Amino acid sequence: MTTSDTAMAQLSTGERALALIGGEATDANLRRYLHGIPGVDAVGLEQRAADLGTRSVKTSSKKWAIDKIISLIDLTTLEGADTPGKVRSLVGKALTPDAGDLSCPRVAAVCVYGDMVPHAVAALGSAHSAGTDAGVNVAAVATAFPSGRASLAVKLADVHDAVAAGADEIDMVIDRGAFLSGRFGQVYDEIVAVKQSCRRPDGGSAHLKVILETGELNTYDNVRRASWLAILAGGDFIKTSTGKVPVAATLPVTLSMLEVVRDWYRLTGARVGVKPAGGIRTSKDATKYIVTVAETVGEEWLTPGLFRFGASSLLNDVLMQRQKMTSGHYCGPDYVTMD
């Protein structure tokens, strides 16, 4: 790091943001900063993502890769028909993904609606990691997920209730309408306010994942700007999607976000996580993301604290691949629980 980079690393998140944008987080200052970021070479980005997607994992490393993928999954149920019983079943699978092989690692977290948090916490019992990587975390979607269309007071109450119920992580959605209209200050202020609402009375804080809903941002330039904005405002993770719109996570979009995280780390020394969510359904797909992370930000990002997969069906495919490696023959879906 240069002397200026070292000085930047010693600042708080808020101080870094003010230093970088050259003043208060107003629409004008944020617009000047975000539009000053170099544009994305779309052709180059897509070509690099395609190249990374063709790289294979050595046979000797496939078992490691499969177990790594499992350990990075946020096992998710976000349906209007969710019940306490379904959440308890989800937690059971999170704790013991393969009942026939107890060496199989646990997932990183379960992700549920806020009103389901108490049921997830109760079902986890002593396996609830409470914000560490020792067990399984509970993540809750909030801020009027998935649309983000509600007053700030409603959004903050949503967050407060989830954190009070025991959520270790909050997955918030940005106001895409505000962002696309150029109201960057509003988006920034909402993220800052949500971050503050993640604090607990004991002084701890739930980690904040900021969902950009990249499928609605239209361009790679917008994805890059939204990523920078979320990080400037204090997001611990940037997340691609809610999984509720037709276009969810893609490898080029995730690569673009990883490049922002890499540049932020080089600039400030602070690490921010990335979570692609939606549309990643197979072990083959997930492996492409693992390779892309390792090649872009380094293998140190391949921990639950810095990278996650948001998925509901991915785990079953990965388990079938794992069983094939163990038994020597392919096991069908009858050999895994269906959620």
Identified catalytic residue from 68, 93, 209, 239: 239
User: Of 269, 266, 271, which is closest to residue 238 (Cα–Cα)?
Assistant: 271
Choose the catalytic residue: 168, 171, 285, 317. Answer: 171
**Residue in 275, 285, 288, 317 annotated catalytic:** 275
Backbone angles phi, psi at 276, to 5 degrees: -75, 140
Closest to 307 measured CA to CA, from 293, 319, 317, 318: 293
- Closest C-alpha among 70, 51, 52 to residue 62: 70
DSSP three-state, residue 275: strand
Please give the backbone phi and psi of residue 37, each rounded to the nearest 5 degrees, phi first: -70, 135
Q: At what angle do helices 59-71 and 314-327 cross, to 10 degrees?
A: 140
171 is catalytic: yes
Annotated active-site residue 5? The verdict is no
Q: Is 275 a catalytic residue?
A: yes
What is the residue type of 307?
A: F
Residue 239 bridge partners (DSSP): 211, 275
Asked if residue 273 lies in contact with residue 307, where contact means CB atoms within 8 angstroms, the answer is yes
Q: Which amino acid type is present at position 198? A: C
Classified as helix, coil or strand, 266 is helix
- List, by residue number, the catalytic residues: 171, 239, 275
